[in-house]
Amino acid sequence: MNWTVRLAVNGEPRTLALDDPRVTLLDLLRERLHLTGTKKGCDRGQCGACTVLVDGRRINSCLTLAVSLDGAAITTIEGLAQGDRLHPVQEAFIAHDALQCGFCTPGQIMSAVGLINEGQAGDDPERVREGMSGNLCRCSAYVGIVEAVRDAQATLTDKERAA
């Protein structure tokens, strides 16, 4: 038996036949679509390395069955930059040296984009830390991560005001 799921992945319509309804969005992205920027850390909802946006909201893709997302729009780390122009959150992570090994970074960045979209980032470091608490960093780059999120939030708010 086959299950079909239609997704828009980084703006591109995809129709995918699954032979197992238990395939997670994470495995679908990495193994079928070769979008390996989304990382598999714990594979059980504890580390946030697999964070992507579904219809603009952040989720742990390791906990989400692909078949449950028929019709959804998925954004992964590969979909953030526009050509050579990085997303402001990506630029802020570089500017604030918010990574060491980089394994958690795609998930951190997607989570930050989601947090800012939700209007929940604010300028308070404690609030940012709380909002990003589902994303663990084994290298403990948290100081830079919080600064990057605050900086990106300010940049994006300024852009909104100017628009």
Residue ranges binding ligand FES (CB under 6 A): 40-43, 45-50, 60, 62, 99-105, 137-139, 141
The residue written with tokens 């692909």 in the block is: 66
- The Cα 30–Cα 109 span in angstroms is 18
Complex with ligand FES: residue 41 or 88, whichever CB lies closer:
41
Instruction: Closer to ligand FES by CB, 105 or 153: give it.
Output: 105
Shortest distance in whole angstroms from residue 2 CB to ligand FES = 26
Q: How far is the CB of 25 from ligand FES (least distance, A)?
A: 10
Of the pair 108, 153, the CB lying nearest ligand FES is at 108
Measure Cα distances from 81 to 27, 41, 105, 124, 128 in Å.
22, 23, 15, 26, 23
Whose Cβ is closer to ligand FES: residue 3's or residue 103's? 103
3-state secondary structure of 153: helix
Q: Which two tokens stand for residue 146?
A: 């919080």
Question: Could you say which DSSP state residue 32 is in?
Answer: I
* 8 vs 15: CA distance, rounded Å: 9
Q: How far is the CB of 101 from ligand FES (least distance, A)?
A: 3
Find the shortest distance in angstroms from Cβ 159 to ligand FES: 27
